[in-house]
Amino acid sequence: MTGEPNLGALQQGWEDAYQRQADGPLWQDEAIPVIESAVAELRTRQARTVVDLGCGDGRNLAVLLDAGLNALGVDIAPTGLAHARRVVRQRGFLLHADATRIPLIDGSVDAVTCFDVFGQVADPADLVAEAHRLLRAGGLFVANAFTLEDETFGEGDRIAENTFAYRDTLFRYYAEAEMRALFTDWNLLDLQRVSWDDPPHGEFRPYPHRHDNWVVQATPRDDER
Backbone angles phi and psi of 147, in degrees to 5: -85, 175
Q: 198 by DSSP, 3-state: which?
A: strand
Q: Where are the beta strands (DSSP E) in the chain?
A: 49-53, 70-75, 93-96, 109-114, 135-146, 157-160, 163-166, 169-172, 186-198, 209-220
- pLDDT tops 50 at residue 1: no
The predicted model scores a pTM of 0.92
- pLDDT of residue 126 exceeding 70, the answer is yes
Least confident of 8-17, 71-80, 212-221: 8-17
Band the pLDDT of 23: cuts 50, 70, 90: low
Mean pLDDT of all residues in 97-111: 95
Q: Report pLDDT for 5.
A: 60
Query: In this predicted structure, what is the pLDDT of residue 2?
Result: 45
Q: Over the stretch 133-168, which tens digit does the pLDDT of each residue have?
A: 999 999 999 999 999 999 999 999 999 999 999 999
List, in order of start, the domains of the chain with CATH numbers. 7-224 (3.40.50.150)
Question: Quick check: 54 pLDDT over 90?
Answer: yes
98, 70 contact by CB (below 8 A): no
For 178-219, what is each residue's pLDDT tens digit?
Answer: 999 999 999 999 999 999 999 998 888 999 999 999 999 999
| Euclidean distance between the first and the last CA atom of the chain, given in angstroms as a whole number | 43
Give 3-state DSSP helix, strand, coil % of the chain, rounded to 5: 30, 35, 40
Strands (E), 24-129: 49-53, 70-75, 93-96, 109-114
Taking every pair of Cα atoms in the chain, the longest distance, rounded to a whole number of angstroms, is: 49
Report pLDDT for 179: 97
Given this model, what pLDDT does residue 122 score? 87
